[in-house]
Amino acid sequence: LIELVEIPAGSYYMGSEGKGENFDEAPSHKVNISKAFRMGATEVTNAQYELFRPEHKKLRGKNNVSTEDDDAVVNVSYQDAVDFCQWLSEKEGKTYRLPTEAEWEYAAKYDPESKTYHKYAGGSSPSSYAWYTDNSQNALHSVGTKSANALGLYDMSGNVIEWCQDIYTNYGSGNPDLGKDERVLRGGYYGSAISAVKTTSRGSCNYTVKQPAFGLRLCLQ
């Protein structure tokens, strides 16, 4: 059902400290991805999600977004995404889940061939790799229609915003109550400015909210 890409273990610096970055991207800090994992090559599509929840088809085209089988599914809350992971795990006898925020950023920015980390998921400029405000015509697109990043993942920047496992908090805040009902969203979407499709850009929303830009990508450990 889901095409998966192997993501190697490794260490990297998460976040950024450059001028003009969002306050919640700092401080940059070292993170260890201790085990290799697999991640969906694309965002989950309407056709894939509707095997789990057929009634979701009535939301296709809502707000003129996401109408085709191969379009990234949207109007999916964090809880919907978790329920889909659980359903697929039971169906296939494997453990599917959402990526952690650290895994997501690592997979988006890491280039194993050059051993470098990119500002956008694919390279120095997002135009070849991402649907965002400058090139999307304010429309969501079918998955995998831009180039993949160095690890073979499509649409890590732009197209739809992707839920991560984590409760949202500022890096290093030490405050477990900050955003306790907020879950992390990553990657920006088709209507995002270029600054919001960086590999370090962060977003969040209440775990119950569905929006025409909220979708998901799976991991398998």
Q: Which tens digit of pLDDT belongs to each residue from 133-191?
A: 999 999 999 999 999 999 999 999 999 999 999 999 888 665 555 567 899 999 999 99
0.85 cut: is pTM over it? yes
pLDDT of residue 26 exceeding 70: yes
pLDDT in tens, 114-125: 989 999 998 878
Contact 190, 210 (CB under 8 A): no
Q: What is the structure's pLDDT at 98? A: 98
- Strand segments, DSSP code E, in the chain are 4-7, 10-14, 29-33, 37-40, 96-97, 110-111, 116-117, 161-167, 182-186, 202-206, 214-215, 219-220
Helix (H) or strand (E) holding 50: helix 46-52
Assess contact for 165 and 101: CB atoms under 8 A.
yes
User: What proportion of the chain, given as a percentage, has pLDDT over 90?
Assistant: 82
pLDDT tens per residue, range 84-113: 999 999 999 999 999 999 999 999 999 998
Task: For the chain, state the CA radius of gyration.
Answer: 16
How would you label 107-135 residue by residue, b for 16+ Cβ within 10 Å and e otherwise? Answer: bbbbeeeeeebbbbbbbeebeebbbbbee
